Amino acid sequence: MNNGLVFVISGPSGSGKGTVVEILRKIYSKVGVAVSATSRLPREGELEGVNYYYKTREQFEELIRNGDVLEYTEYNGNYYGTLKSEAERITAEGRDIILEIEVDGGSQIKKLLGEQCVTIMLIAPDADEQERRLRGRGTESEEVILGRLARAREEMMEAVKYDYVVVNETGKSEECAETIVSIMKAEHQTSRRMSKYINDYFD
Ligand code: 5GP
């Protein structure tokens, strides 16, 4: 996968991840965001090929059978998965990739790619604020909301396994995105990743 790094960005529902990733796309154009496949229905305003590639369960299962997904999981009764074709398209351009995926997928990618993968967990300042944000979207049934809250609690438990944990303070999505860009840039400069450059310095 070239020299590009793969940044997994996870965040429980209500962490404000969607907004932050949208800002990231704008302020760090060198990065490509891989569009996932899902079997959930589009929310109002979501677009095919922009937010997700929308599939039926059967179509998704065919993607799995054909080995077209790098990882996948079931979340709240729907499939979500990273398409190989998306990852290949972005890495072919030599760019970094952002995968905005949940923790199960994140750990699959980390296992698959090892050091080429950096994991970042985005969290709300506290549980009350997280629930407020989740409900604020106003597009889902109580049942779905409760399912997402339960899952969010589980995902928070996984935060310690991530390389970075970034708090998305209320009203400060821009700052949060800037922090993530700093992390992304710094990750390219670690002595481990710069070792070839150092070795070749006097040649
Ligand atoms: P939503 O329904 O809110 O768009 O997404 C639900 C969860 O699925 C979010 O945590 C989102 O990050 C995650 N997700 C989106 N795409 C993928 C994917 O390709 N793989 C995995 N494992 N999770 C994903």
- Per-residue pLDDT of 54-102, as tens digits, reads 999 999 999 999 999 999 999 989 999 999 999 989 988 889 999 999 9
Residue recorded with tokens 């709300």 = 124
What's the confidence (pLDDT) of residue 47?
96
pTM metric for this prediction: 0.93
High-pLDDT (> 70) share of the chain, %: 99
Q: What is the average per-residue pLDDT within 154-169?
A: 95
User: Ligand 1 test: best mutation among 13, 19, 36, most atoms within 8 Å of CB?
Assistant: 36
* Span from the CA of 101 to the centroid of ligand 1 (angstroms): 5
Q: Could you read off the pLDDT of 176-197 as tens digits, one per residue? A: 999 999 999 999 999 989 998 9
pLDDT attached to residue 60: 98
Question: In angstroms, rounded to a whole number, what is the distance separating the alpha carbons of residues 1 and 31?
Answer: 14
Q: So what's the pLDDT on residue 117? A: 96
What are the residues facing 119 on neighbouring strands?
8
- List of long-range contacts for 176-181, beta carbons under 8 Å, 24+ apart: 176/16, 176/20, 176/122, 177/20, 177/23, 177/24, 177/27, 177/28, 178/27, 180/9, 180/20, 180/24, 180/120, 180/122, 181/24, 181/27, 181/28
Ligand 1 centroid, distance to 190 Cα (angstroms): 29
Q: For the ranges 5-9, 16-20, 135-139, which has the lowest average pLDDT? A: 135-139
Q: Is the pLDDT of residue 2 over 70?
A: no
Does 1 score more than 90 pLDDT? Answer: no
How far apart are the CA of 180 and the centre of ligand 1, in A?
19
Ligand 1 pocket list (CB less than 6 A): 36, 40, 71, 73, 75, 80-82, 100-102, 104-105
Q: How high does pLDDT run on average in the chain? A: 93
Q: Is the Cβ–Cβ distance between 131 and 35 less than 8 Å?
A: no
pLDDT value at residue 4: 87
Determine what percent of the chain is predicted with pLDDT higher than 90.
Answer: 82
Question: How far away, in angstroms, is 69 Cα from ligand 1 center?
Answer: 13
Task: For ligand 1, atom 7, name the residue with the nearest CA.
Answer: 102
CA torsion, points 32, 131, 155, 117, in degrees to nearest 10? Answer: 20
Q: Which atom of ligand 1 is nearest to the CA of 105?
A: 22
